Amino acid sequence: MSITPLMPKATAVWLVDNTALGFDQIAAFCKLHPLEVKAIADGEAAQGIKGMDPVMSGQLTREEIEKASNNPSYRMQVQESKVRVPENKRKGPRYTPVSRRQDRPNAILWIVRFHPELLDAQIMRLVGTTKPTIEAIRTRTHWNSAHLEPMDPVTLGLCSQIELDIEVEKGAKNAPKPAEGEEPQSLLPVDETTSEEAMAAAFSKPAPSTREEEEEVDADAVFANFKSGDEDDDQR
């Protein structure tokens, strides 16, 4: 895989001014078009750009330049650095773009509700928030609590699914263990809930009453009321 040198135009300016390399050779090394290198040589491009010595920066050797100068068809290669700089790990809360910051409270509410085992430090790593904000959302004292809705931080683009899964796995290890002699609560196995004994016991129980029993109606008393009403009308 070809590697582009640092500051390719500045490197091309230096090679044009300090070597007898062809335009094609410089263009191939700096990943530029030969006409662009020719424009640099003619002073029509890269004006005001100070040349950068690729030898001093460790991207090229004198031997490589000399070899290319003696062979116009030779193409120079960028020298890979022998020193590997370790990647800097992020410290502190994750940076959240301004356009996504308004979604953080909803994401925190989602995490607190569906993953209560996560510590505040884990939530801070996932969505880039602060401990007071998490506490305010937990205790429903956040200034916008009435309008917050739990939303998945992955869907909101605040973190990746892999990052969330890693934190959930870590949080599961921090979850409180059941007391000694106490079995963890779980659903009954399917074999137990669908066995013949369980089904028979379920159907043998009387159905719960959904309405009050109707009171017995005395027909003679009802008709007596109607008769007394008719007699009053006749007297009128």
Q: How long is the chain?
A: 236
Domain assignment present for residue 62? The answer is yes
Q: How many domains does the chain have?
A: 2
> What's the pLDDT score for residue 111?
92
Q: Which of 174, 200, 223 corresponds to the end of one domain?
A: 174
Is the CB of residue 150 less than 8 Å from the CB of residue 156?
Answer: no
Q: How far is CA 66 from CA 3, 20, 74, 77, 146, in A?
A: 20, 9, 11, 13, 73
Which tokens hold the place of 132?
A: 């007071």
Which tokens hold the place of 198?
A: 């369980």
- CA-to-CA distance for 159 and 109, rounded, in angstroms? 15
DSSP 77: -
- CA-to-CA distance for 150 and 142, rounded, in angstroms? 14
Domain assignment present for residue 52? The answer is yes
Q: Which of 52, 70, 88 corresponds to the end of one domain?
A: 70
- CA-to-CA distance for 128 and 91, rounded, in angstroms? 11
Domain assignment present for residue 188? The answer is no
- CA-to-CA distance for 136 and 129, rounded, in angstroms? 12
- CA-to-CA distance for 10 and 16, rounded, in angstroms? 10
Confidence of residue 56 (pLDDT cuts 50, 70, 90): confident
Domain assignment present for residue 192? The answer is no
Identity of residue 44: E
One domain for residues 153 and 108: yes
Task: Quote the strand ranges of 117-166, DSSP E.
Answer: none
Domain assignment present for residue 121? The answer is yes
Is the CB of residue 132 less than 8 Å from the CB of residue 93?
Answer: no
Contacts of 91 (CB under 8 A, 6+ apart): none
Q: Within 10 A of 47 (CB to CB), how many other CB atoms are there? A: 9
Is the CB of residue 101 less than 8 Å from the CB of residue 55?
Answer: no
One domain for residues 111 and 61: no
Confidence of residue 210 (pLDDT cuts 50, 70, 90): very low
Domain carrying residue 143: 98-174
Confidence of residue 162 (pLDDT cuts 50, 70, 90): confident
Percentage with pLDDT > 90 across the chain: 18
Range scoring the smallest mean pLDDT among 25-34, 150-159, 172-181: 172-181
Domain assignment present for residue 49? The answer is yes
Across 215-235, average pLDDT: 56
Is the CB of residue 56 less than 8 Å from the CB of residue 8?
Answer: no
Q: Which of 174, 209, 228 corresponds to the end of one domain?
A: 174
> What's the pLDDT score for residue 79?
80
